[in-house]
Structure 1
Amino acid sequence: MKTLLICPDLFNAEGGIARIMRLYLRSLCEQAAPDDRIGCVALMDSGDTSARVRLLLGPQQARIDNCERSRVGFLFIVLLRSLGCRRLVCGHLHHLIVARLARIINPRLDYYLVAHGIEVWRPYSLLERAALRGARRIFCVSEYTRRQMLRFDTSLAPERLVVLPNTFDPGFRAGSAPATAAGLHPRILVVSRLVNSDPYKGVDLMIEAMPAILRQFPGAQLRIVGGGDARPHLEKLARDRALGEAVRFLGLVDDGVLREEYQSCDLFALPSRKEGFGLVYLEAMSYGKPCLAARAGGAPEVVDDQVGALVEYGNTEQIALAVGNLVRHPRNPAAIAARVAQFSYANFSARLAALLDGK
């Protein structure tokens, strides 16, 4: 059986979708029988990514096609590669119509969709509805996403929508740095895209909450990892509140630096309104760190009062109080490690294999 994964990107960006697509590819390769062939077509990736593929897959092999943002090229290559396939995993709703076309050309092909979050929390076009109904299964990253899809298309068969929670790179070692009391100098970490098209992430809310946090902990520091066109606005927000060195923008960082930031922070915060799942919460918890999230979207399926704190989206007073609570009352490292274990890569890969096999 030949399996094809199609996705927006694998290595072009470091957002949650790209990171989880890499783990889908890794799992598909590990599941493959000796005579199976695994392929991947990435719309946005460009250049030679073979070194990163080898690092990701180890001894496993896959054929990777990078389409360099060419939608025509993406369509052509997907249709060509899918001719000899029996299974296609589509990593984003925007590409599902292409998967449907591949099924028309190759009637033996079964296709599956990974449904992440906001891209499926909306009404669907007629073509999208037809493509959704043709999917053998839809892997929803959270129960919230599953409910939203059934809400927006009541014709979907509920049994075809299954919850397959995201996992995290096993290179992030669970429980490697237990949470400790931070005293008057807590380091608060945010990891997010800083783009104007994603104003719901809540990075601005963390900055707005910092004056109240500093009144509790004069040495507190907010460290923001990520880049994008919203950074100048966020930097101005920090300047307007005279926050100085209390807010540090670290920009885009590689995985090594990101691991160091998770290791050295005292808590992680992303009070986002529209997280389909929230992969960064898992990454932070794998280092034993408690998380602050908004009571919205799929985040409450990952973060609760045992491993962190939930606040109402937009409420900066609650954010400051929650930070104080997390610093003064560190969460039990054993509880955090147990939550992380629920979303381990091994559990994810086994669940994916079972669902692809029809179980």
Structure 2
Amino acid sequence: MTDRLTQYAHGGGCACKIPPGELERVVAGLTGTPADPHGDLLVGLDTGDDAAVVGLCQDLALVATTDFFTPVVDDAYDWGRIAAANALSDVYAMGGRPVVALNLLGWPRDVLPMELVAEVLRGGADVVASAGCHLGGGHSVDDPEPKYGLAVTGVVDPRHIMRNSSGRAGVPLSLTKPLGLGVLNNRHKATGEVFPHAVEVMSTLNRDAAAAAVAAGVTCATDVTGFGLLGHLHKLARASGVTAVIDSAAVPYLDGAREALRDGYVSGGTRRNLEWVAPHASLGPDSLLLADAQTSGGLLIAGEIPGATVIGELVPRESHTVVVR
């Protein structure tokens, strides 16, 4: 028996998401549901944003999200850290602060040792604690495929929510983490090669970037995960009624990402991302890398903040939602 966790998963990380086109068709009938009589649904299903937001009073709203996935790395502790950072990111992407999290765990208890479970949960707990968030328990099931993540509840000032639908023409687009996590993770799964710099990026919280964005008055943001930069750009531009123009030469990539692409370590999720966006985009260089399915990626911000890379701008709506130059 091998304890290489990635060998027990059909996919890896956010690359194992249901394809965006299929998902949108499934949830289409769920939009427009009545608001909760005990609060105003400020952000729901309509634009496919990162989390739900319910207004409680004039200066307080509740942010709710959940995220879990199959192993993206073989080290159990690192997988726990990455999965936790990824789940917390949805709250940060809305401009909020996580308050309490619950573990979500699926584990093949007769196949993989329970000692590995302890390491996964320890990694998640350490990241949750570093976020200043409570960890209040959770739920587990006996599952033939290992899965881990969190359900997270946070708070946000309703006057400072960052939405994917509030972008406006004339505003720069910034990215807070480099791309290439998908191809490096896929190489790791196939070969066992370890990429510590990718693990460091994935386990880094988006907390500081979100705080800087809120302080700068940013109202439009999303995080870049399984649908890739192109997919999340398409969703943001479509929801905001604008076009996103990207300078491909300005987009930052992790060391080794281009080599991994060259050597064919591209997930099926990345290819499906590109297929979904292509009819709505004018694509140029690096299209496949721009569609790379990220796990615990950075924030895509309509604005400028310290430490982020400006990769393009929003312009009035053209025939395409995304233009790559």
Q: TM-score range by the shorter chain?
A: under 0.3
Say which structure is richer in strand.
Answer: 2
Tell me the TM-score normalised to structure 2 length: 0.26
Tell me the TM-score normalised to structure 1 length: 0.24
Say which structure is richer in helix.
Answer: 1
Q: Could you say which structure has the greater relative contact order, defined with CA pairs below 8 angstroms and 6 or more residues apart?
A: 2
